[in-house]
Structure 1
Amino acid sequence: MKITSIITILILSIGAIQGIVYGIILFKSTKYNKIANKILAAILFLLSYRLIIQIMRLFGLGYYDSWYYIMIDLSWIHGALIYYYTKAQTQPNLNFNFKRKDFIHLLPLIFQIAISVFVRVQNLYWDGTKESLSWLGYYSYIIWMNNSTIYIIASFLITLYSYKSLKLLNSIDNRYEISKEKLTWIKRILVAFLIYFTLVLVVFLFDLIIFKSSNAGSYFYFTRFYYYPFFIGIAIITYWIGIEGFSRRNEPELMLKNTINKDEMLRLKVISEKLIDIMEIKELYKNQELSLEILSKEINVKPYLISKCLSEIFNKRFNDFVNQYRVKQVQLLLKDQENSKYTLLSLALDAGFNSKSSFNRAIKKHLGISPSELKFTK
């Protein structure tokens, strides 16, 4: 076996195993996003299954057997599953359910199964000659089996539904709240599918038109230069979305925003001014033991109102609100040449952080850099 084949098998195997493992975890996930996690698990299972079929072919197994045909029959469902996944993530409080109009997205799958069965039936009549089949049976077989038709349509559907899903994600009603982090990582998945399969679609179409026309109709897509790189790309995507889905599986669902009247908003703004004053003037953030309860006593405001103020006015949680001041303080301390003799950790503790790990997390979250890079940003 060639070294390139061994490397390809290794990459495809890692992607397939990763997809199966994370798919099982997501399918069993019960805390949040139950339906969305199960749909993502289905996507991972199908992608892993496709990779396994290709690994088998590299070992000389599974040429046009039942496992191969089942994979063919299911290849047009990926686009619909991507759309269902996005829809499940953008429905408030687990209210997602399949409506009658949603099943229209499964029509390509039904159409594909019908064609695939029809093409396979032609094997019962095929004797090696064109005349043994009807014109419909012959040309269906040629187009379906000897051309990249299945992949072209599958790539088109994934591209189409990735675009539709992005539009759906961008059209979330402002009555609902969804974290920016959640929006960002779902968009990353959709954009990855959109870009990759648009590229795949262009390559398949260009190669089919140019290469086939220049070779008098003799064309087999599975012998072309892009065939295995295409599956390596799928392995990488499977590996990546498995990690994304696993790490974000317990993020809260979409929630209805609480409507706040004008008087209550004014009250929250007054609290916000108190919070800014006590942080900037009294520098309460330097207290390493600072908690919501301590802050509540300092400004004489109930803890739940502080939390509500932080959420509605600052769009932050308590720790993020306090740590932003601590991070700025560390940056100020670094600008002072007198502090060059102190370690970064000692400056962090002076700014109010109570441990190295909390300091590291805050720097990464607020500045997007590692603590070791902090001195170079001053």
Structure 2
Amino acid sequence: MEAWEVLLVVLLCAGAIQGITFGIILWRSQGPHALANRFLAAILFFFSYRLIVETMKIFELGRYDFWYHVLLEYNWVYGPLLYLFVLSYVRPKFKLERIHLLHFLPVIIEVIWSFFIKSQNFYWDGTRESLSWLGYWGYVVWMHYPTMFVISATLIIIYARKSVRVLNEALNDPQIRIIPERVVWIKRVIQVLLVFTALYLIGIGIDYFFFSYNSNLFYGHPVFVGMAAITYWMGLEGFSRRNEDAFRSNATVSDKNLDQLQQVADKITTAMEEQQLYKDPELSVKKLADLLDTKSYLITKALNVVLKTKFSDFVNGYRIEAVKTLLADPKNEQFTLLSLAFDAGFNSKASFNRAVKKITGKSPSALK
């Protein structure tokens, strides 16, 4: 075995072991997203399986021998698993039902068809007549054309788009109190799989049209090294967030409660804009609740559910806009930035700096 083959085996095995290890941990986790973790674990298991199969081929196993008939293809499973992973992660009341199993119909078709095609080797005697019409042309289409790979890539692209749509709907649904920063990693997973799939399709095209399926050195091995890297990375991402809750407390809100919270949110916004309550440096949730003659918990809940923000961020947002307005007035050129911040309601330089950095992503001096 040459040095590059040894390195390749090490990389593929590292990815497979990582996928299996973290897959088991995710499968057994009992966090708030237990079902979603199992779907992610399944993706890792199938990726690891594919890496193991490719490793066996390097050792000349699985090429028209016993393992060739045992190790079937599961290339069409990644798309449905990705979609159900995202769906179960962002839907607090998601339950796996029979209708969801329809997404795996292509996988069942692929397994049956793969077994049928591989079984043709038992009848093949070197002549076309030894096979049935379906057996012969099925073998040609399956083995001599990139059929299974193109369908696999297409399914991943379709389900990735569905996953993005589900994720965006959850983020914009006021009844699902999802924490945006806790699902950023899921967006990364979808994007990485899409990029990998696009590169995979390009590699398949180059291999088929220019090398007649003989270019493992040019596309096959880099593809599986990339799959190993993704498996390794995705396992770490899932493991580090296996117990993290993407929802705020009381993630779902009834229509009646939502209407009540909308009214409270309107009162808060009106009070801030018309009475400029944010200029009070001692303003608190309780003080605001007393001024609006409502309960403190309703103030907090209305901010979280309807306005999707925290009290401090909400108030500081108004204060920062007030600072901008003061800076735009030529009459205030003689005043320092900090003095204007105090006029807008900030009670210290530290709180002003933190708020500007957090809300605008820039330094306070950039406000000028």
1:66 and 1:296 map into 2 onto residues whose CA distance is 74
Preserved contact between residue 44 and residue 238 of structure 1 (Cα < 8 Å): yes
Q: Which residue of 2 aligns with 1:251?
A: 245
Question: CA, structure 1 residues 70+326, in 2 after alignment: closer, same or farther (shift >3 Å)?
Answer: farther
2:319 and 2:88 map into 1 onto residues whose CA distance is 38
Preserved contact between residue 117 and residue 139 of structure 2 (Cα < 8 Å): yes
Question: CA, structure 1 residues 322+9, in 2 after alignment: closer, same or farther (shift >3 Å)?
Answer: farther
Q: Which residue of 2 aligns with 1:188?
A: 188
Describe the SS at the equivalent of 2:309: coil
Question: CA, structure 1 residues 273+8, in 2 after alignment: closer, same or farther (shift >3 Å)?
Answer: farther
Q: Which residue of 2 aligns with 1:87?
A: 87
1:323 and 1:64 map into 2 onto residues whose CA distance is 68
Q: Does 1:164 align with 2:158?
A: no
Q: Which residue of 1 aligns with 2:131?
A: 134
Q: Which residue of 2 aligns with 1:104?
A: 102
2:192 and 2:219 map into 1 onto residues whose CA distance is 19
Q: Which residue of 1 aligns with 2:148?
A: 150
Cα offset, 1:123, TM superposition: 2.4
2:240 and 2:152 map into 1 onto residues whose CA distance is 28
Q: How many corresponding residue pairs?
A: 344
1:338 and 1:175 map into 2 onto residues whose CA distance is 37
Describe the SS at the equivalent of 1:164: helix
Preserved contact between residue 264 and residue 298 of structure 2 (Cα < 8 Å): no
Q: Which runs of 4+ in 1 moved over 6 A?
A: 273-279, 291-301, 322-328, 336-339, 375-378
Q: Which residue of 2 aligns with 1:307?
A: 300
Deviation sequence 1:199-230 (CA, Å, 0-9, x none): 3224323542x226xxxxxx335635111111
Q: Which residue of 1 aligns with 2:350?
A: 351
Preserved contact between residue 147 and residue 221 of structure 1 (Cα < 8 Å): no
Q: Which residue of 2 aligns with 1:116?
A: 114
Question: CA, structure 1 residues 274+351, in 2 after alignment: closer, same or farther (shift >3 Å)?
Answer: farther
Range that drifts further, 107-116 or 291-300: 291-300
1:326 and 1:14 map into 2 onto residues whose CA distance is 52
Cα offset, 1:141, TM superposition: 3.4
1:278 and 1:70 map into 2 onto residues whose CA distance is 72
Give, as a single letter, the amino acid of the residue that structure 2 aligns with 1:133.
Answer: S
Give, as a single letter, the amino acid of the residue that structure 2 aligns with 1:126.
Answer: W
2:361 and 2:64 map into 1 onto residues whose CA distance is 50
Q: Which residue of 1 aligns with 2:228?
A: 235
1:157 and 1:34 map into 2 onto residues whose CA distance is 25
Preserved contact between residue 80 and residue 159 of structure 2 (Cα < 8 Å): yes
1:239 and 1:323 map into 2 onto residues whose CA distance is 41
How high is the TM-score relative to the length of structure 2?
Answer: 0.71
Where structure 1 has 5 or more consecutive residues not aligned to the other structure, the ranges are 213-218, 286-290, 329-335, 340-348, 354-358
How high is the TM-score relative to the length of structure 1?
Answer: 0.70
Give, as a single letter, the amino acid of the residue that structure 2 aligns with 1:220.
Answer: Y
Q: How does 1:271-350 map to 2 (within 5 A)?
A: 271=268, 280-284=278-282, 302-312=295-305, 314-318=307-311
1:115 and 1:183 map into 2 onto residues whose CA distance is 37
Question: CA, structure 1 residues 295+168, in 2 after alignment: closer, same or farther (shift >3 Å)?
Answer: closer
Cα offset, 1:258, TM superposition: 5.3
- Give the root-mean-square deviation of aligned CA atoms: 4.4
Q: Does 1:32 align with 2:32?
A: yes
2:106 and 2:261 map into 1 onto residues whose CA distance is 51
1:26 and 1:121 map into 2 onto residues whose CA distance is 36
Question: CA, structure 1 residues 59+309, in 2 after alignment: closer, same or farther (shift >3 Å)?
Answer: same
